[in-house]
């Protein structure tokens, strides 16, 4: 087995390699003055099973093109079985037509990957549980919820009181929050989120399901953080409802430029994310803690 990585998240690929007791194979990459990428595989891979690690975060199009070229190079050099590990799957929020005249961008990305004849895809906490079923190739859809459950238990040294509650910042996260509820034995509530489809801005959170009555500690859980505004609004709403301590958990730290400041100044104790997306130093802040998904991905690879 050989493992390769694009440039979007080399630290995660190195951690996965270490867990698999493998050395990350080299990729010869050249970028032309106009931005075109040229990818070359120098290892002998004929008849080998290969893994490619590449998250499709910002710059999403550039990272996807690098992934496509890597996959094409591996297939052209007769790799026996190619697994694409795409921890953060870019365009996953564009999974259907929201307004007349729109493209369904997610389906375009899926068709491209299928045309490159990948044998398997591994991803984590996709925006919708329905997304894996859009593929014609096998998809292993992992979840960071067990990792988050362990961290929640660790915060309270294995015991969480009746004053704690799990909170989904929108109704779309109900399945996710229910899974975490099963793992932690904590009750849950969900907030109703109103988003302007033209601007993307979120306004007016309110409790829509579950109860915050007599709750003092809240764990807000989501699949990703982009601008940070959803988390800040949810946290402020919870404070108004009597919550005294708030912890944020999100799998993918997309983090726009303003997100670190918004989260640092939000009424939350800590913000826990995974390393599915590489977070540069300039986007890290004092409340941030990064949990690694490398052991989870490596364990999944070993099973197949």
Quick check: 26 and 43 in contact, CB under 8 A? yes
> Fold identical between 2-142 and 145-291?
yes
Place of tokens 């959170």: 205
- For the chain, the structural domain boundaries read 2-142, 145-291
Count of CB atoms situated within 10 Å of the CB of 179: 17
With H, G, I as helix, E, B as strand and everything else as coil, classify residue 28.
strand
pLDDT confidence bin for 96, thresholds 50/70/90: confident
pTM of the entire structure?
0.92
Pick the CATH number of 145-291 from 3.30.230.10, 3.40.50.1980, 3.40.1190.20, 3.40.50.2020: 3.40.50.2020
Residue with the larger pLDDT of the pair 275 and 212:
275
| Catalytic residue selected from 21, 193, 245, 302 | 193
pLDDT confidence bin for 46, thresholds 50/70/90: very high
Give the sign of the dihedral formed by CA 238, CA 240, CA 242, CA 246. Answer: positive
> Of 25-29, 57-61, 206-210, 215-219, which range is least confident?
206-210
- Residue in 193, 186, 176 with CA at minimum distance from that of residue 215: 186
Report pLDDT digits (tens) over 262-290: 999 999 999 999 999 999 999 999 999 99
**Rounded Cα gap, residues 293 and 299, in angstroms:** 10
Is residue 179 part of the annotated active site? The answer reads no
Q: Say which CATH topology domain 2-142 has.
A: Rossmann fold (3.40.50)
- For β-strands 217-225 and 245-253, DSSP reports them as parallel
Helices vs. strands in the chain: H and E counts, helices first:
8, 14
Report pLDDT digits (tens) over 119-128: 999 999 999 8
Q: Residue 7's pLDDT is what? A: 97
End-to-end CA distance of the chain: 11
Mean pLDDT of the chain: 92
R_g (Cα) of the chain, nearest Å? 20
């Amino acid at each position: 087995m050989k493992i390769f990585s694009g440039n979007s998240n080399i630290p995660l690929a190195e951690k996965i390699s270490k867990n698999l007791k493998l050395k990350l194979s080299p990729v010869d990459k050249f970028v032309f003055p106009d931005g075109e990428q040229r990818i070359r595989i120098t290892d002998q891979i004929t008849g080998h099973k290969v893994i490619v690690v590449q998250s499709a975060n910002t710059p999403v199009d550039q990272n996807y093109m690098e992934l496509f070229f890597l996959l094409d190079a591996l297939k052209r050099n007769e790799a026996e079985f190619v697994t694409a590990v795409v921890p953060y799957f870019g365009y996953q929020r564009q999974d259907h037509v929201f307004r007349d005249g729109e493209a369904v961008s997610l389906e375009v990305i899926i068709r491209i990957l299928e045309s490159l004849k990948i044998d398997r895809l591994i991803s984590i906490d996709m925006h919708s549980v329905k997304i894996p079923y859009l593929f014609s190739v096998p998809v292993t859809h992992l979840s960071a919820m067990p990792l988050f459950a362990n961290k929640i238990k660790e915060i309270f040294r294995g015991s969480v009181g009746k004053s704690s509650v799990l909170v989904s910042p929108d109704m779309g996260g109900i399945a996710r929050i229910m899974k975490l509820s099963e793992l932690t034995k904590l009750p849950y509530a969900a907030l109703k989120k109103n988003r302007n489809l033209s601007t993307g801005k979120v306004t007016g959170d309110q409790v829509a399901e579950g109860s915050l009555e007599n709750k003092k500690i809240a764990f807000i859980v989501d699949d990703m953080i982009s601008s940070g505004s959803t988390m800040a609004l949810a946290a402020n709403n919870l404070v108004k409802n009597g919550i005294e301590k708030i912890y944020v958990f999100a799998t993918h730290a997309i983090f726009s430029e303003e997100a670190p400041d918004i989260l640092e100044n939000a009424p939350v104790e800590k913000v826990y994310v995974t390393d599915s997306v590489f977070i540069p130093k300039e986007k890290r802040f004092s409340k941030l803690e990064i949990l690694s998904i490398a052991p989870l991905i490596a364990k999944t690879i070993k099973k197949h």
